[in-house]
Chains A and B, each alone.
Chain A
Amino acid sequence: MFEAYQFASQHLELVAKWAVEHLLISGVAIGSAAVIGIVFGILISGQGKERVADLVLYFAEIMMTVPSLALFGLLMLLLGRMGLSAIGFLPAVMTLIVYGQLPILRNTYIALRQVDPAFIEAGRGMGMSERQVLFKIKLPMALPVIFAGLRNAMVLIIGIATIAALIGAGGFGVPIFRGLRNARMDLIIIGGVSVSVLALLVDGSMALLERFVTSKGLKR
């Protein structure tokens, strides 16, 4: 523990670099995953789309079961074939987006479907268009559950982003894997503790944001 502290204090700029890399990869991944997951969640939540929804959610679940290492490798090959950069940032972010999908997509879908039809009919009965029903009623009411999904995905993504170091994307995976190779306990501790702290910080700030954007009428 002491060695870890000593190393970190002597190599502050190095730790900062890992932190920035880690945050950047996870941040871009989370942002994209949120947009994709919420948009798809909305699209598959409509009336009469239950079978499409089942299919999409099933697919997302299957993707979750693919080991992250295998997915990193698969994407490296695919991107390489397409002439894109096969290592580093791009494949790392793409893999993380795939992992973040399921909680966001599933929570968005479930939250929208759970809105009491009476509210939707009340909205329509007062002259709201489908779009207005979505933005004025369904989404605000679904917000707490969607947020839970987002937080879930964020913690997941920040954790898995560690493995992205293996394909040259940097982040706190770098000290962990280096420590594993060289039997350096201090490096492993620095990487591991940092990832946990990062995840807790991000989750905490999301909790604050959630409190801020959720209507007071929906809180217990």
Chain B
Amino acid sequence: MIRLEKVTKIYPDGTKAVREVSLEVKRGELCVLLGPSGCGKTTTMKMINRLIPLTSGKIYVDGVDHVSVNENELRRNIGYAIQEVGLFPHMTVAENITTVPALKGWTKADRTKRAVELLKLLRMAPNEFMNKYPKELSGGQRQRIGIARALGANPPILLMDEPFGAIDPVTRIDLQDEFLKIQQELKKTIIFVTHDIYEAVKMADSVVLMKEGQLVQHASPADLLYRPKNRFVEDFVGSDRGLKCLQLIRAREAMWDSPATVTLDASVESARKQMEEEGIDWLAVISHDRRFLGWVVSSDLVKGDTVSEIITVSSIRVTADTVLSEALSQMLTSGLKVLAAVDQHERLEGVLTFEGIQTALRKAVQKEGTE
């Protein structure tokens, strides 16, 4: 889909910003350009949509040499989300989102329809936000609109320059998760620039690590963590790669997906029996339609007749798509030894334990080591 051949950028003052970078990004792949500031990752990205002209080398977009296309035409077919969002302050949310559709000459009705569609996709109420101005939005909302704007005319390719850079860590994690979900559905070909190794490992299908304008390693996130090509990669990845690996594994792979459960009306006696049989000291309490309600723990078994009297109601839950680092941090902050993974209807899908996380991590490390 996107192919770079020996792409080089040398500025008039002699600065070699990018040197002979060659790489290929397949259709539907999310490729992260990663590296310290000044490594040439943003320059490389901006050369793809010709915001920065190449000094030498070739870039093919969908098999076509991208200098053979009119530059404005090229850019209208490549979604662009920039650092610090860059929403136009004098335009409403709807106008911002449909900037490219307007340039392409869509009718007003089509544009409004598209704006509604995109706001819904990013889980923002169209009625509430359509006519607001950027200054009336929170940082996280602005980033969402920035992404919606890049998706405006439904381009097959997206270029994203630190799109989640300027927000607080909690909102960033939410947005990353949501964006990954959207990407699973839309399957865009994406070039994503970041300097954050955690973000790279979490988002990427493949990571391109750059240093001083050169491509150092182009690999899957796991390969980058476990088979660093040289000392620079090793240092950049850091010594805590076990922790970073937790970003690679989702709860789905580590959870117990047929966990021990009881319903509210079960007797305490039967709950005790079930724990003994399974050899555990907890049970997930669910409703008759499998909605997760809370926990029964062995120390509470002494009092009461039915489960409803001894349940510890818990509002803490994760989803099967939560990455293990986040699940672990939930466990540590809540003090729970087990976490419930639920679907969008609050129905219990599985249970995550410390042991489960450990096993999953060990498996991943072994797999990477022997491959």
- Residues on A facing B (Cβ under 8 Å): 118-119, 121-129, 132, 137, 140-141, 215-218
Contacts and interface: CB of A to CB of B under 8 A. Distances in A.
Contacts of A123: 88, 99
A217 B159 CA distance: 27
A89 to B, nearest CB: 39
17 contacts: A118-B84, A121-B82, A122-B82, A122-B86, A123-B99, A125-B80, A125-B82, A127-B73, A127-B74, A140-B90, A141-B89, A141-B90, A215-B91, A217-B88, A217-B90, A217-B91, A217-B133
Contacts of A127: 72-77, 100, 103
Contact of A119 (B77, B80, B83, B88): B88
A125 B51 contact: yes
Contacts of B103: 126-128, 132
Given A126-B76, A129-B72, A217-B133, A137 B100 contact: no
A16 B321 CA distance: 79
B55 interface: no
Interface string B80-102: 10111010111110000001100
Interface in B90-124: 90-92, 99-100, 103
B191 to A, nearest CB: 13
Main SS class of interface, A:
helix
B71 to A, nearest CB: 8
A215 B91 CA distance: 7
Contacts of B92: 217
Interface in B41-71: 46, 49, 51
Contacts of B46: 125
Nearest to A143: B90
B46 to A, nearest CB: 8
A216 B152 CA distance: 23
Interface string B126-139: 00000001110000
Contacts of A140: 90
A122 B149 CA distance: 11
B330 to A, nearest CB: 36
Nearest to B84: A118
A127 B103 CA distance: 8
Contact of B86 (A118, A132, A141, A217): A118
A217 B92 CA distance: 7
Q: Which of A118, A215, A217 has the most C-beta atoms of chain B within 10 angstroms of its own C-beta?
A: A217
A141 B49 CA distance: 25
B86 A124 contact: no
A123 B87 CA distance: 10
Contacts of B80: 122, 125-126
Contacts of A119: 86, 88
Interface string B159-202: 10000000000000000000000000000000000000000000
B89 A217 contact: yes
Q: Which of A127, A217, A218 has the most C-beta atoms of chain B within 10 angstroms of its own C-beta?
A: A127
A140 B74 CA distance: 26
B50 to A, nearest CB: 9
Nearest to B76: A127
Contacts of A132: 103
Q: Which of A125, A132, A216 has the most C-beta atoms of chain B within 10 angstroms of its own C-beta?
A: A125
Contacts of B84: 118
A137 B133 contact: no
Nearest 7 Cβ contacts at the A-B interface? A217-B133, A127-B76, A215-B90, A127-B75, A125-B80, A122-B86, A127-B72
A118 B152 CA distance: 19
A58 B325 CA distance: 62
A123 B72 CA distance: 10
Contacts of B90: 140-141, 215, 217-218
Nearest to A116: B86
A189 B91 CA distance: 48
B51 A121 contact: yes
Contacts of A125: 46, 49, 51, 75, 80, 82, 159
A183 to B, nearest CB: 55
Contacts of B83: 118
B216 to A, nearest CB: 27
A126 B88 contact: no
B119 to A, nearest CB: 17
Given A118-B86, A125-B82, A140-B90, A217 B72 contact: no
A216 B84 CA distance: 21
Q: Which of B72, B84, B92 has the most C-beta atoms of chain A within 10 angstroms of its own C-beta?
A: B72
Contacts of B49: 125
Contacts of B89: 141, 215, 217-218
Nearest to A120: B86
A217 B76 CA distance: 25
A5 B265 CA distance: 96
Contact of B75 (A118, A124, A137, A141): A124
Given A121-B51, A126-B80, A127-B100, A216 B88 contact: no
Given A125-B75, A126-B103, A127-B103, 20 more contacts: A118-B82, A118-B83, A118-B84, A119-B88, A122-B86, A123-B88, A124-B51, A126-B75, A126-B99, A127-B72, A127-B73, A129-B72, A137-B88, A140-B90, A215-B89, A216-B133, A217-B88, A217-B89, A217-B133, A218-B89
A141 B134 CA distance: 14
Contacts of B82: 118, 121-122, 125
